[in-house]
Amino acid sequence: MAEEIEFKLQVPPEALRTVRQLPWLRGAPAKRAKLVSIYFDTSKFKLRQSGIVLRVRRVGRKRIQTVKTAGDGAFARGEWEAAIKGDRPDLAAAQDSPLSRLASARLGRKLKPVFETVMMRTAIQVRSGNSDIEIAIDRGEIRAGRRHESVSEVEIELKKGDPAEISRLAKRIAEVVPVRFDPRAKADRGYALCVKKVGTAVRAADIVLDRRMTTGEAFRAIGFSCLYQLCANEQGVRAADSESVHQMRVSLRRLRAAMSVFKVLLQDSESEAIKAELKWLTEQLGPARDFDVFVRESVAPLSAAASEMGVLQEDMEARRDEGFRGAREAIDGERYRRLVLNVALWLANGAWSATTDTLKAVPRERPATAFASEVLTARLGKIVKKLRKLKQLDVRRRHKLRIGIKKLRYATEFFDSLFDGGRSRRKNLADLLEELQESLGRLNDFSVHRELAGEIVHRGKRKDRRRPEKAFAMGIVTGNEQAQFNALIDSAIKTGGRISKCGQFWV
């Protein structure tokens, strides 16, 4: 097995020539070739569901079969190559790959071409430091039946040496060309075309960590998975799809939660700058999703209560639409482009990953399993303690508790693959945390809605003849929500008691 370590940069088509003509690339050995790659799977995408990518690439008269582990944004993933004779996969040549556990005569008969990529590639061999790196400039197309998507990208792949050199070269290219980091492999984009899900919401993928990983390696893998989810929802946000906005916000919450969980590694100015930019993007996405949920869950169900509800709904929908426009403008802007690129470079080779400061370097090199066990135990203990005093907490402290629960829930998802704990214990804790998060989330929404009601009532500077009607309708909404308050508090306390008795899958 070879380990594929690469960095993908989307480049405007007109800028590809600029990359090729960079002074430090002009004298490097280069080859130009047409690559036609056929990707195979079953009609139900069994390989994809198993985390496997299988392709046969035609390069002149040669046929190269490649098996990869589906990365979902991973900085590094497994790759198994073999020369074969025909245009169809040869499962016997994949015995050392993950495909071998699925390989059978029956599977072989079910495999069929699902999409193809046709690329003109210029592959440039570069020596950077003590490392050998290939910079591949690709221009072409992904085709799935009648659907297609153009490709204009630069792949920077480590052949031998230090992975840090990849990000150094990416920075050099980014200084000259307005590149966009995109962790999606061509296979990811091809499958999206196949199932007609281009521009639809992408949920978080399962994170599989190797138990031999250090704490730093685990953080990098988790971070890239979160970044993958963020980038995969860009098209949906542009299309004003509410669920895509939600999933992009989830990706940001997960990444910010990971930074909190691994904060012992991230005590530096670069990490603080990244944190500030992630907060900015979260704020840009907030109005679209918040007003959309408010209309659907709080206003629309009460539409028959009074005629004034229609006036309020119209106002809230206008605010929602304005929020969608703001979200689209944000991700189409220069600040967002730089944010995503900087996060990728920071995850790959940030100051946190290279510091020799003992207080940061020693925790970074600890076994991830030991770190995860300590973090999960400590965070669960704090939450159980605070839940016992839930009725005494004010709005601000309830909000902080909700955030803590959310971070613990994400942490259990991050570290799940590191432990052999019973499946039932893992699921039980996950269900309880989700239930608790939902109850406290609703309580937080009620507080936000009361503030919104106050804004509508006291919005005297703006001439709004329908303000009294909107204020009356908001009174109906907040009154209905207040009636649910005590039941939600009691439910959260009850769930907290069940969590305190829940077995810990990590011990």
- Determine the pLDDT at residue 358: 92
- CA 492 to CA 499: how far, in whole Å? 10
Question: What integer is the mean pLDDT of 121-125?
Answer: 97
Q: Is pLDDT above 80 for 503? A: no
- Determine the pLDDT at residue 463: 64
* CA–CA–CA angle 196, 201, 204 (5° rounding): 120
Which residues, at least 6 apart from 68, have a Cβ–Cβ distance to it below 8 Å?
Answer: 4, 52, 53, 77, 78, 79, 80, 185, 187
pLDDT tens, position by position, 151-179: 999 999 999 999 899 999 999 999 999 99
Report the predicted TM-score, pTM, of the whole model to 2 decimal places. 0.90
Here the tokens at position 437 are 């998060």
- CA 82 to CA 66: how far, in whole Å? 7
Here the tokens at position 39 are 């990707």
Which domains can be identified in the chain, with CATH numbers? 2-198 (3.20.100.30), 279-500 (1.40.20.10)
Q: Is pLDDT above 70 for 281? A: yes
- Determine the pLDDT at residue 461: 47
Which residues, at least 6 apart from 405, have a Cβ–Cβ distance to it below 8 Å?
Answer: 383, 433, 436, 437, 440
Question: What integer is the mean pLDDT of 130-142?
Answer: 97
- Determine the pLDDT at residue 361: 94
308 close to 453: Cβ distance less than 8 angstroms: no
Beta bridge partners of 82: 65
Instruction: Write out 235-268 in H/E/C secondary structure.
Output: HHHHCCCHHHHHHHHHHHHHHHHHHHHCHHHCCC
Q: What band does 432 get if pLDDT is binned at 50, 70 and 90?
A: very high
Query: Which region among 55-64, 127-136, 309-318, 325-334 has the lowest average model confidence (pLDDT)?
Result: 309-318
- CA 224 to CA 76: how far, in whole Å? 10
- CA 376 to CA 211: how far, in whole Å? 16
* CA–CA–CA angle 31, 32, 33 (5° rounding): 120
Q: Is pLDDT above 60 for 134? A: yes
Average pLDDT, the chain: 91
- Determine the pLDDT at residue 375: 97
- Pairing state of beta strands 30-41 and 112-128? antiparallel
Q: Is pLDDT above 80 for 71? A: no
Closest CA to 429 of 446, 409, 414, 415: 409
1 close to 127: Cβ distance less than 8 angstroms: no
Q: What band does 426 get if pLDDT is binned at 50, 70 and 90?
A: confident
Question: What integer is the mean pLDDT of 316-324?
Answer: 93
Q: What percent of the chain has pLDDT over 90?
A: 66
